[in-house]
Amino acid sequence: MSVPHTRMGLEAFLDWENRQPARHEFYRGEVFAMVGARRVHGIVALNVATALKSRLKGKPCMVFIENMKLRVADDALFYPDVFVTCDARDLRTEMVFEHPTLIVEVLSESTQAFDRGAKFAAYRSLASLREYLLIDPDLRTVELFRRNAAGLFELHDHTGLDTLELASLRLALPQAELFEGLDEAAAATLD
């Protein structure tokens, strides 16, 4: 998250943001410019989206990646790295989505505190959300928060496991797919 740009309401933000060349997130009336992501972030986000898309083919769910707006509340609108929605209302919208089943954030040093804290708190208010996945490409950690029968999110740490089980979508992803290409990216950086 960057330094707040200005304070405004959601409708004013949407009107303003749709005319901007860069993306901005909106939280509690404040506007935050989105910063560029590192290569490893992009690799993991694309890997997750690609893996989900291939496994959801033919199902009534769609995968979206980092340039789609997710309205969380009247005072919060984010651009998740990846999210899946199976809600018919979202499948008809063009701009702002509101009913995700799964949200994935790829952590970076500059965003992880917000992704784990205030952003996760905001996401938990979404009745449709069943799972929240945090992936750290540097540490290769995979933390899945799943809503239980009482409506509370429980941590299912998948770090080091072979397979990531996504109960909300009834599918499993080999973790090797999530991190595919990272070793090559690291080797290229060393050259």
pLDDT tens digits, 12-65: 887 887 788 777 777 777 777 777 678 899 999 999 999 999 999 999 999 999
So where are the chain's domains? 37-190
Give the pLDDT score at 190: 53
Answer whether 96's CB lies under 8 Å from 69's CB: yes
pTM for the predicted model, two decimal places = 0.86
Residue 182 backbone dihedrals phi, psi, to 5 degrees: -70, -40
Handedness of CA 143, 104, 42, 164 (dihedral sign): positive
CB within 8 A of 160, min separation 6: which ones?
none
132-166 pLDDT, tens digit per residue, is: 999 999 999 999 999 999 999 999 999 999 999 99
pLDDT exceeds cutoff 60 at 4: no
On whether the 37-190 domain is CATH 3.90.1570.10, my answer is yes
Give the number of C-alpha atoms closer than 13 A to the C-alpha of residue 160, restricted to the C-beta side: 1
Cβ-count burial 43-76 (b if 16+ within 10 Å, e if not): bbbbbbbebbbebbeeeebbbbbbebbbbbeeeb
Give the pLDDT score at 1: 40
pLDDT tier at 187, thresholds 50, 70, 90: low
Give the pLDDT score at 146: 98
Q: What is the 3-state secondary structure (H, E, C) of the chain?
A: CCCEEEECCHHHHHHHHCCCCCCEEEECCEEEECCCCCHHHHHHHHHHHHHHHHHHCCCCCEEEECCCEEEEECCEEECCCEEEECCHHHHHCCCEECCEEEEEEECCCCCHHHHHCHHHHHHHCCCCCCEEEEEECCCCEEEEEEECCCCCEEEEECCCCCEEEECCCCEEEEHHHHCCCHHHHHHHHHC
Q: How far apart (Å, rounded) are the C-alpha atoms in residues 93 and 79? A: 15
Residue 177 backbone dihedrals phi, psi, to 5 degrees: -65, -35
